Structure 1
Amino acid sequence: MKNSAVLLPKRFILSVFLIAIFVWSLFSVHWNSDLLHTGGWPTMLQILKGVIRPDLTAEILALGLKAAWITLAYAVTGMSLAILYAFIVGILASGTLTSKTVSRLTSKIFFRGILGFTRAIHELIWAWLFVAAIGLSPYAAILALAIPYGGILGRIFADMLNDVPQEPIMALKAAGASKLQILIYGYLPLVWADMISYTMYRFECSIRSSAIMSFVGLGGLGYQIQLSLADLKYNQVWSYIYFLIVLVLLIDGWSNLVRRGLVERKRVKGISIGWLSTLLSVVLIIFSWVYVTEDVHFLELFSDKNIQYAQRFFGGMFGVGNPHPAFFDKENWSSALKLTIETLEMSIMAIGFSTIAAFITVLPAARNIANGDLTLTKRWYNWILFGVVRVLYIFSRSVPELVWAMMIIFLFKPGLLPGAIALALHNFGILGKLWAEVIEDMDSRPIRNLSSSGASRLQSFYYGILPRVLPRFLTYILYRWEVIMRTTIVVGFVGAGGLGMQFKLSMSYFQYTNLTLLLICYMVLVVIADFASESTRKAVK
């Protein structure tokens, strides 16, 4: 009881603090009619018409299928490398292969530092850097996906291994097992299911990331969306977006099949679903690698020409041959820090908008509220609302932030607001889905007691549901804010302001030392957000 009495004020104080920070971020926008483009609304209406009237001609459908395959192939090849990198570095970062305290601590700090660096930079930034260094090669997209996703997976794998119960591990040690044997027969069997589950979730995310690789000219659905937007063919834009949504849903269904097969050991006609899905995964990986790298040999990356380009580019970033690098100039630092604060404000606005939208829609989206199990009240419209909101969630999270930004910028003038709205639109669907699952998994008995005592639906929510789900809600808000912080730089590429907009300009004008300065500010911002989010989550547990 004492712990509950202490934690509740903490959560309340944190909620008030987050609201205050959100209100502060709103003052960064000048709320007037000058926010909108002249003729912005008619253009937006034309874009929205494409939602219900997509171009379904044979030519567009064939092009969409080809682009969808390219998007999938890049995601598969990138993730296959990411898994390999994450598995090796994640194990080393966990310290499970070391015995002495000093060596374990050194291993953790060093390899977690590597994982932190690689996941801090967004995949599109990596793509820009690789394209600038080695040219428009498929390996630029593959490595750009593999490095950050490997960093994310590696950190989670390391945390999973560190959280393993020690009783089975101590038993293996007492039996004289080596470190490698303890890892294979002790640690991995206990975390294997969670590793697969999280990897498949990240694979779904990599589909969206693969789509936005088009921004640097690497093909796929995002490339077709970008071309159609440039030609003002909005019905074609939505055709390709629907391809992307279907692809994400198929991957989601496939990931569920893999998890059920490997974790629950489901069988169909005597055949293990787990082994069958694993075999299909291997076949898909092989075909993807063959297709993506068919005309490009890996050794071409190390040709004299590419080595010269890479040396020139990365040397330029470190200021080689530049007597006045930007990262040694006070004025450039002042300008970069101002953009850093703007980027922070954009991320706070984005998580605030998405939180408000998710909060308004989460109750109808919960299955146990739609069927009346939680509140003991059934309404004829419950399932209709459930279906509508769930479709909105799928639609919202399936479209990448960059695609949302490319459309919203037709309505709003360049600045922080269109970037915040684009980020919010994508994260609203993710946050709403996560919150709805929290409500579906909660103990329904206390809420039913409230309802049977005569409490209204609103009273049941505020006095029964909200106090129980608030800790998880806050955890997901902070987690998504971390993700948004990494993505703010991406929406800036299409004129949404902040560090991303200046990053693109610096890249266009070959101001390489300025790129280094902006990347430093960006990484510091991501690390601070990471630390603040992690510390706050631990404080309210």
Structure 2
Amino acid sequence: MHKWKTSFRLHKRFILSLILLAVFGWSLFAVKWDADEVYHAGGIPTLGQIFKGLFQPDLSPEVLSKGLEAAWITLAYAVAGMSLAIIYAFIVGVLASGTLTSSRAARLANKVFFRGILGFTRSIHELVWAWLFVAAIGFSPFAAIFALAIPYGGILGRIFADMLNDVPKEPIKALWAAGASKLEVLFYGYLPLVRADMISYTMYRFECSIRSSAIMSFVGLGGLGYQIQLSLADLKYDQVWTYVFYLIALVVLVDIWSNFVRKGLTDRKRRRGFSTGWRASLLAALLIAGSWIYIYFIDHADISDLFSDQNAEYAGKFFGGLIGLNENNPAFFDAESWASALKLTYETLEMSVMAIGFSTIAACLTVIPAARNIASGNLTISKKWYNWPLYGLVRLVYIFSRSVPELVWAMMIIFILKPGILPGALALALHNFGILGKLWAEVIEDMDPRPIRNLAASGASKIETLFYGILPIVMPRFLTYVLYRWEVIMRTTIVVGFVGAGGLGMDFKLAMSYFQYTQITLLLLCYMILVVIADFASESTRKTVK
């Protein structure tokens, strides 16, 4: 019976893989692969100039100084946004978990209501929130900070709620039986069991918020993204790469700090673990304090200005326009507008499938040399002189790929390829390929090496070891990560469209530029429909993988 179940699961995964390949093939038909239809006339020379700038960045004192200032603004906005996101995520996440309710009906109502809030706030991309806040309150740093805090709070809150729900019930029941109050149960029962996981995941999202903070700059709020945009507009690719390297350095530093914190969390029993955690906490407090001091005293942002009569008038006009006040024929009630928007929605779906397909293929071709246990020979009992150099090269490419935001990739690719869904798909694929490859490599590194060693010791070739040893074990996790990244890509498709990469994003930017508020609402509705479809399809497919 067990053998039959195992065979059935493998059969389902094989069928699922074929279906995913077929869907990717379907998406490729959305592009006319004629060279005249794909490339700009000067696309190839432009590509050469971009590569020249990559290897010869502008290192003049003026550009380096400007990059350092822009990097600090990017970091300050990210830290401030995440500090608000953590507060929002903790409060709403606890309420969404139902841990503070006693009756089953109240717990269900809490979960439905507060999970709905978290779902709505995380479904809209942070750059879309930034556009909305800029339109409502102007070019205030708080537009970027709130635009980061709301979606990241939604993402963190959802994860926090799931973590609290997965806590073993025995210690909690013991606290209830001892007469503990709801808050005591939360702080002495739930939180000690999930604190390490919460901090670890928050650090991961903080790394993501650095990239998002840079993207915020594209709506005119300063920072690295703003400098990249100006340099691209002036065709100064050497300056573009200088600012991109600043962004990569920020992401790498945060990644190192994140590993430092996680190591401290898993090493608490040792004295060094306490010291590590203390130093990490001190650094976090200094960053938060420094960011808010900069925002209030140097950037001269005052939250009370947001509640001025003028801003209230602008916000009322903007949000009133979104729901169609004083408009005879709102776009979201017009059949032709819906038909046009749904066509763009279909294109956006094709773009997302194409993007995850390209990134999956690239990850497949590079993931084996990117695994540390394969480079060292511990997994396959095969040590070659080129293993470690190849490992370092691929890992460096992964860091470079995922550190550059999708929008930055799109802005460079659009100089080479004509507007459409292909440049958008390539930009999304370039960013997610690095993330997917890193996640896959870590899956291989976490494998039990004994079955693979036995296979290699019995005389199996490298290809046989790969297809009969490694892949059957890691394939479920691989597919899970592909589906997870597809969900993320679906939320990000609207962003690459802002620079002419097709789909809903391009029309959304035009609607914002021409103050077509009800059209904005219609496009947001279509965007949310796509996100819901992605969530449902991904969740259903993940169950099949299991």
22, 38, 42: which one pairs with 2:45?
42
Q: Which amino acid aligns with 1:236?
A: Q
The CA deviation at 1:407 is 0.2
Q: Indicate whether 1:119 and 2:118 are aligned.
A: no
Q: Provide the rounded CA distance (Å) in 2 between the counterparts of 1:268 and 1:303.
A: 52
Q: More displaced, 101-110 or 50-59? A: 50-59
486, 494, 519: which one pairs with 2:491?
486
378, 382, 398: which one pairs with 1:377?
382
Match of 1:94 in 2: 97
The CA deviation at 1:263 is 3.9
2:267/2:273 contact within 8 Å kept: no
Q: Provide the rounded CA distance (Å) in 2 between the counterparts of 1:38 and 1:154.
A: 48
Q: Secondary structure at the match of 2:422?
A: helix
Match of 2:539 in 1: 534
Q: Indicate whether 1:303 and 2:305 are aligned.
A: no
2:264/2:274 contact within 8 Å kept: no
Q: Provide the rounded CA distance (Å) in 2 between the counterparts of 1:44 and 1:396.
A: 17
Match of 1:9 in 2: 11
154, 157, 181: which one pairs with 2:157?
154
The CA deviation at 1:538 is 2.4
Alignment of 1:244-263 (within 5 A): 244-263=247-266
Match of 2:137 in 1: 134
The CA deviation at 1:441 is 0.4
Alignment of 1:150-299 (within 5 A): 150-265=153-268, 272-294=275-297, 295-299=300-304
Q: Which amino acid aligns with 1:113?
A: G
TM-score (norm 1): 0.99
The CA deviation at 1:270 is 9.8
Alignment of 1:21-60 (within 5 A): 21-33=23-35, 34-60=37-63
The CA deviation at 1:262 is 3.6
* Structure 1 alignment gaps of length 5 or more: none
The CA deviation at 1:259 is 2.1
Q: More displaced, 228-237 or 162-171? A: 162-171
Runs of 4+ in 1 over 6 A off after TM superposition: 266-271
Match of 2:529 in 1: 524
Change (3 A) 1:269 1:362: closer
Q: Secondary structure at the match of 2:107?
A: helix
Q: Provide the rounded CA distance (Å) in 2 between the counterparts of 1:355 and 1:206.
A: 24
Change (3 A) 1:4 1:271: closer
386, 391, 395: which one pairs with 2:396?
391
Q: Which amino acid aligns with 1:285?
A: I
Q: Indicate whether 1:427 and 2:401 are aligned.
A: no
Change (3 A) 1:110 1:225: same
The CA deviation at 1:167 is 1.4
* Residues 199-236 of structure 1: CA deviation (Å, up to 9, x unaligned): 00000000000001111001111111111111111011
Match of 1:68 in 2: 71
* Residues 496-526 of structure 1: CA deviation (Å, up to 9, x unaligned): 0000000001111111100000000001110
Q: Provide the rounded CA distance (Å) in 2 between the counterparts of 1:300 and 1:311.
A: 16
Q: Which amino acid aligns with 1:292?
A: I
Match of 1:19 in 2: 21
* Residues 461-492 of structure 1: CA deviation (Å, up to 9, x unaligned): 00000000000000000000000000000000
Identity across matched positions, percent: 73
Q: Provide the rounded CA distance (Å) in 1 between the counterparts of 2:17 and 2:106.
A: 40
The CA deviation at 1:269 is 7.6
1:366/1:437 contact within 8 Å kept: yes
The CA deviation at 1:399 is 0.1
1:364/1:385 contact within 8 Å kept: yes
Match of 1:460 in 2: 465
Q: Which amino acid aligns with 2:292?
A: W
Q: Provide the rounded CA distance (Å) in 2 between the counterparts of 1:531 and 1:248.
A: 31
The CA deviation at 1:292 is 1.6
The CA deviation at 1:539 is 2.7
Q: Provide the rounded CA distance (Å) in 1 between the counterparts of 2:283 and 2:455.
A: 49
* Residues 245-296 of structure 1: CA deviation (Å, up to 9, x unaligned): 1110001111122222244228778972212211221111011011123312
2:265/2:273 contact within 8 Å kept: no
The CA deviation at 1:183 is 1.0
The CA deviation at 1:535 is 2.1
* Residues 435-483 of structure 1: CA deviation (Å, up to 9, x unaligned): 0000000011111111111111111000000000000000000000000
* Residues 87-109 of structure 1: CA deviation (Å, up to 9, x unaligned): 00000000000011110000000
1:138/1:293 contact within 8 Å kept: no
475, 496, 500: which one pairs with 2:501?
496
Change (3 A) 1:490 1:176: same
Change (3 A) 1:158 1:270: closer
Q: Secondary structure at the match of 1:222?
A: helix
Q: Indicate whether 1:109 and 2:112 are aligned.
A: yes
Match of 1:337 in 2: 342
Q: Secondary structure at the match of 2:385?
A: coil
Q: Provide the rounded CA distance (Å) in 2 between the counterparts of 1:199 and 1:535.
A: 27
1:265/1:272 contact within 8 Å kept: no
Q: Which amino acid aligns with 2:503?
A: G
Q: Secondary structure at the match of 1:99?
A: coil
Q: Indicate whether 1:324 and 2:326 are aligned.
A: no
Q: Provide the rounded CA distance (Å) in 1 between the counterparts of 2:451 and 2:272.
A: 43
* Structure 2 alignment gaps of length 5 or more: none
The CA deviation at 1:384 is 1.2
TM-score (norm 2): 0.98
Change (3 A) 1:113 1:275: same
Q: Provide the rounded CA distance (Å) in 1 between the counterparts of 2:468 and 2:273.
A: 49
Q: Provide the rounded CA distance (Å) in 1 between the counterparts of 2:307 and 2:435.
A: 40
339, 351, 358: which one pairs with 1:353?
358
